[in-house]
Each structure stands twice: as C-alpha cells, then as structure tokens.
Amino acid sequence: MTATHPHPPARRAPRDGSPPGRVAAPPSDPAAPRLHPARPAAHPGRRARQDAVARTGAGAALWLSLLLVTSWWVAGRGVQDLGGWATGLTSVGRLSGLVASVLLLAQVVLMARLPVLEHAFGQDRLARIHRVVGFWSFDLMVLHVVTITWGYAGGALPDVPSTLWDLVTTYPGMLLATAGALCLVMVVVSSVKAARRRLRYESWHLLHLYAYLGVGLALPHQLWTGTELTGSTARTVFWWTAWGLAAAAVLGWRVGRPVALNLRHRLRVAAVVDEGEGTWSVHVEGHHLDRLPVEAGQFFSWRFLGRQGWTRANPYSLSAAPDGRTLRITVQGVGDGSTASRALRPGARALVEGPFGRLGERARTRSKVAFIGAGVGITPLRALAEELAYPPGGAAYVERFTGAPLFAAEVDALARDRGLQVLRLPGHRRDPGSWLGDGMAPRDDLAHLLHWVPDIAERDVYVCGPAPWTDLVRRTLEAAGLPPAHLHVETFAW
C-alpha cells in the first residue's frame, strides 16, 4: 500500500519522560495532537470465541422458546382444531399470539443493552436483528388479533366488528392491550424507512421508547385471559420467569447501570474544539476514568445538560483512545442535537449510557488490520489506529473525505511513529456505484483496493461510514475474498 507521506525513523522519547511514540501535549491544550501507546493484545481471538459462544447460546434460547410454546399449542389440540373454519381461525390466533409474545420479549431484551449481547453481536447487527424480529412480532400480533376475533365471531366476517368491541370492552386486560397495540403501531410506523427519513433522530428515538410501554400494557391481557400462558404450572413459571428477566434486564441495564455510571464518573465538558468542515470535538473529563470499561471503537449515548433537548440522547463514538483522564468525541452538525453541542461551555454536565459497540479489539483475530472510513465515520477508526497493537506496516488506514481530512496531524503522527500506512481519498464519489473519490484511475473499486492493500483478505477490516457507502465497501471486500467473520462494520444511519 502506498502511503501519502514518508515514514521517517521513530522519534526519541520526549523530554518530559513520556514513552517513545507518544506525542507529548499539555493537559490544558485539548487541541494538541493525541497519541497514546498501543495496548498490548492479550489473548488475541479469545474474546471473539467467547462472543461466538454467546451468539450461539442466544439463538438457541430463542428457538427453544419458540419450540416450547409451539409444543404447548400442539398439546392443546392446536393441529386438530385446524380442521374447522371457526376453530381453525381461533387455533391460528392462539399460535400467532404465543409466537408474537416470545418475539416481543426478545424485542425487549434486544433493547435492554445487555453487555453480553452488545459484545457478541455489535450494535449494527443487533439493530438489524431488532428490526427483523420487530416486524415479525408486529405482523404476528396483528394476525393474532384478526384471527382470534374472527374465530370468536364463529367465522362470520360481518360479526367481526361487534365481536372485537365485545372483546375489548368486556375481557380483562383488553383495554390495556389495545392501548399497548396502538403504541406498537406507532413504533412500527415510525420505523418504516419512508417515515424515518422525515423524522429527526431525536424524535424517532423518543417514539421508539413507546415500545416498552406497548409491551408492558399487553402483559395483563396475556396473564389474565391467555389460557395458553397460564394453563399449567410449567407454563406459568415459564412466562413469569421470562417477563421477570426481561423487566430486570431493562431496569438493570437501561436504568440502573447508567445511573451508577454517571454518579461514579461525573463527566463534564472540558473544551469544545473546532475541527473544520462543520465538525468539532468535545473533550470530556471526569472522576476515575481509568476505571471506565471503555475501549477505542466504542460509543456512548450522550446527553449534555444545560442545552435545549438535553433529554434526548445522541450516539457518538470516541475519536481518541481513552487514556484514563479524558474522553473525546467528534461531532458533525447534521441535526438539532448535534448542532447544539457546538455551544457547550466548559463545566457543562454530561450524562452517558454505554459503552456500546463491537468495533474494536474484542472482534479481532488477526495480527494485521485495515481501517476504511468516510467523513465523520473515520472517528472510531482513528481511535482504533491509536490503541490497537500492530507491527509497523501492519495497519492500513483508508480515509474518504470531500473537504479536508479529519485529524490529519494525529494520523500523520501515527504513520511516523507506529508505521500506520495511510491513504487519503479526497473528492466526491466518482459515481453512485463506487465508494472511491473522483480522480481515481479508470479501474474498478476491487482493482484499486487490491493495488493498495494486496493482502486485504488476510486482515481484520474495520469499516465505518454512511450505510449506502459501507454497503459498497462490503461488496468490494467480499469480492476480494475477505471472510465475513473478519469484516467489522458500523454505520451512522438510524
């Protein structure tokens, strides 16, 4: 790979006594380049294997739960009832309600920010699973309502409206279940791509929290009138345990853990530094940051007190490796929440949830790595290039940008001191089907990539950028022979 600048010999240790390969900068100067020694890679691949076990266990738990509730449906003459029209409708409604209940619980757990799932799947993959499971659970919930009502109406379609009214107004818990269903409808509608494009991220995030309310409101109906859920001691124990664990996960990891983390570390803004091109970095300090379990490549959901809309969280990755004293995020002004962070003043309190994401050391299994990022998506990759251990020439850094490259001085220091191979690709994309910038030679993306990094298939590759752009990079990497297990992607689409 051809770097954009030469690699002079490594510098001697600075006079202030800091280790070789580290740019010494006064703590009072947040704009100075940051460069910290790489953390040694302990037991490479061990955490990746642990995560693989966790993924297998999570999938097995879900499928076994679905198999269990289906067996209860079969034991309750569910198959035999399919022989009649009205009884068949009711039977389909029973099965769809059982499966929808399991998937709704899976939705709650997926949203609970459990570290074991975050580490095993990563935020992007969890989001995709969450979306698929969410639409299936919603579709099955609608099927449950329609078929149960139609079956209770004796299979007579004209009697369905009056039967539905009777069910809602006379059966225990049905009014609450109806309100819960409306909450879930609102969440699903706002999650459709056409609707998401019209919503601010902050508004969409707030609406999405109604999923918790929708699932909670459905619980009384399921436990009071669902004979499939309470027809035996085993069923009662299963459902109460499942609901209890899901509720404990939400209370513990979405409420309890963030409260404890913020009380312990008491984060405050230290400085806001312009980076150019409508981008700025927010430097944050706090207490006992050396004990904060965060790594380069991860992100937090941030709330900054004292500004409008502070109740709505925004996800920002660390743009520098955590050093135990400060944290740094880099923000591009693309929405109300992100733009407001430009006006933050030193001393403003910051509240965080996290850390989240698998774009880091734990996913790594190979000695050589490559980082490919676009725009502000380069921020977690810049932090990884600083923190990960690699030999000189063992890390390739490819950056796409339209204005000026982010952290140019810091990346140049990494190239000089640690042998990071840097390739900068300026300009707009040359065409919609390419992830490269204009001005490239008339070769396809794969030929360019293999020219720059011939051994790309033998590396762990970290990619971050807009979703359509990362999809193009993914296709090129697959064509280059990179195994899917060694591709680690994070997008900043929602």
Question: What Cα–Cα distance (Å) separates residue 303 from each residue in 115, 250, 323, 379?
Answer: 21, 19, 22, 19
Convert the pLDDT of each residue in 199-257 to its tens digit.
Answer: 666 566 666 666 666 666 776 676 666 666 666 788 888 988 998 898 899 899 989 99
Q: What is the mean pLDDT of the chain?
A: 83
Whole-prediction pTM value? 0.79
Residue pair 85/92 in contact (Cβ under 8 Å)? The answer is no
CATH numbers and ranges of domains, the chain: 46-261 (no CATH), 265-356 (2.40.30.10), 361-491 (3.40.50.80)
Average pLDDT over residues 130-155: 90
Convert the pLDDT of each residue in 391-449 to its tens digit.
Answer: 999 999 999 988 889 999 999 999 999 999 999 998 888 788 899 887 777 778 999 99
Q: Residue 15: what pLDDT?
A: 30
CA gap 243, 237 in Å, rounded: 10
Question: Angle at the Cα of 343 (from 337 to 347), degrees rounded to 5?
Answer: 105
Check pLDDT > 50 for residue 342: yes
User: For helices 174-191 and 160-170, what crossing angle results, to 10°?
Assistant: 110
Average pLDDT over residues 103-110: 89
In DSSP notation, 262-319 reads HHHH--EEEEEEEEETTEEEEEEE-SSGGGS---TT-EEEEEETTSTTTTS-EEEEBS
Average pLDDT over residues 298-316: 85
Least-confidence region, from 82-86, 147-151, 192-196: 192-196
Least-confidence region, from 109-113, 152-156, 187-191: 187-191
Q: Give the pLDDT band of residue 462 (cuts 50, 70, 90).
A: very high
Residue pair 363/488 in contact (Cβ under 8 Å)? The answer is yes
Q: Residue 288: what pLDDT?
A: 94
Q: Residue 234: what pLDDT?
A: 85
The residue that leads in pLDDT, 121 or 220, is 121
Q: Residue 33: what pLDDT?
A: 46
Which secondary-structure segment (H or E) carries 354?
strand 350-356
Residue pair 330/379 in contact (Cβ under 8 Å)? The answer is yes
Check pLDDT > 50 for residue 28: no
Portion of the chain with pLDDT greater than 70, in percent: 81
